[in-house]
Amino acid sequence: MQTKAFSYLFSISYFGARYKGWAIQKGQPTIQGKLERVLRFILGHDDFTLLGGSRTDSGVSCREGFFQLFLSEKNDFSEQTIAAINENLGGEILIQFIGPVRRDFNLIKASKRKIYRYFFTDSAETPALHAAWLQPIFKKLDLGRMNEAAKIFQGNHDFSAFCTPSPTKTDFEREILQCQILLSDEIPYKNLADPVYYLEVVGTGFLHHQVRKMMRAIWYVGSGQWDLAEIENRLKRPSQDWEKIPPAPALGLVLWGVDLDHE
């Protein structure tokens, strides 16, 4: 139970390529670890608790996420304070102050929908430097077939065959509200290659490596390696001893947004 008297909500964005994900890991650079170090420096104490709304994997970036900060003493978080925090975060992490929230506000429960996008291309002329932003696929892809594959994931399913299971987790059912492949016209992506595609997945929650394994399966269909039944069968019989699907590389994946109920 949280005992600190004051609770504040922030938005956060970050380029995740050099970080080992959100959560603190001993001896590893993480988003939460960097953020907590900077907060200790700027606030001048460590009497705070930080709660992240999304625990992204190593290498995954975030366009818009949220975190909650609990403090024992009130802080108005002036523009100067936020500017000092961002300066010390160094540019790869950026926060914005939303405002105070009720102490019983629960960021995890308030996150109603999460939107992920995975950017990729089948262009043979993509410079290697662009791999920080999108994943090159070295086979020609069928956009129509990939969209058929993406639609199969919509609805409530057991995603045991499309995640990296944890021994402490027993519930693998998740709801996908929307899943589609689109052509990107977003800057900087549209200037990196032609074409640039992205998988957009909207859901109420996700399992470890779920989006990246879904992406890999859709590539298999788009390149002709799988037919649609391969995905359908894994969703219908998730506990069967299926061959493991490797997750797609992390660098193409972005937590694009979170629909938050914080009233």
User: What pLDDT is recorded for position 161?
Assistant: 95
- The answer for residues whose C-beta is within 8 angstroms of residue 50's C-beta and 6 or more apart is 32, 35, 36, 39, 67, 68, 69, 70
What pLDDT does 31 receive?
A: 97
pLDDT number for residue 155: 97
Residue 103: what pLDDT?
82
Model pLDDT, residue 263 = 53
- Write down the pLDDT at residue 38: 98
CA atoms within 13 A on the CB side of 164: 9
Q: What is the pLDDT of residue 262?
A: 54
Q: Using CA atoms, how far apart are residues 80 and 53, in angstroms rounded to an integer?
A: 25
Query: Which residue ranges in the chain fall short of pLDDT 70?
Result: 1, 187, 262-263
